Amino acid sequence: MTVDDHDRPLNERGREAGVLMAKHIRDKNLIADLVICSTAARARQTLQCLQSILGDDIPVRFEGDLYMASPKKMLKILSHIDDRASSAMLIGHNPGMHMLAVAMAKTGDHESFERLHAKYPTAALTALTSAADRWRDVNDCNLESFVCPGDIE
C-alpha cells in the first residue's frame, strides 16, 4: 500500500536531521517569534523535533497552502504575518523552499551563496534578514547563514 505524499512520514535520516537542526537553532539563538508549518506529516514531525527548543510560548500556525508551495505562494503567506512578529520560521518543502531562499537572498557571504544555489538538502536552514518594516514588504534579504545537517554532524 502506498502512502499519499502529504501523509508520508519522516524517515530515520529526516528525524536525525531534525534533532541536529534543533540543537543548532538553540545554540545559535535562532528561535523565531512565529512558526508557520506545512500540514504535511513530515513537516509536522520536523516541528516536533523543534518543540523542545521552541517551548510553549512560540505560536505555531499550520498552513495547508505551504504544502508544495511555489515561492510566490510562500511570499504571499509571509506577507500576511502580523508585523508585531519580528521573525518567522517556515517549515515547508522542496523545491519551493530552495527556490524561495535563492530568490530572497540578495546579499551575504559568497561561500554561503554558492552552497545555497548548489543544493538544498532535507532539513537545511536558511537564515535571512530584511530591512523591511512590514512583512508585506519583505523581498530582498541578506543571507545570514545557510546550514545543512551534514555541516553539524
Residue 58 burial (10 A CB sphere; 0-12, 13-18, 19+): middle
Task: Output the CATH code of domain 5-152.
Answer: 3.40.50.1240
Average pLDDT, integer, range 47-59: 91
Ranges assigned E (strand) in the chain: 34-38, 60-63, 88-91, 105-108, 125-129, 141-147
Structure confidence by residue, pLDDT tens digits, 3-35:
788 999 999 999 999 999 999 999 999 999 999
Domain-wise residue ranges, the chain: 5-152
Task: Name the band, by pLDDT with cuts 50, 70 and 90, for residue 1.
Answer: low
- DSSP annotation of 58 reads S
Structure confidence by residue, pLDDT tens digits, 85-129:
999 999 999 999 999 999 999 999 999 999 999 999 999 999 999
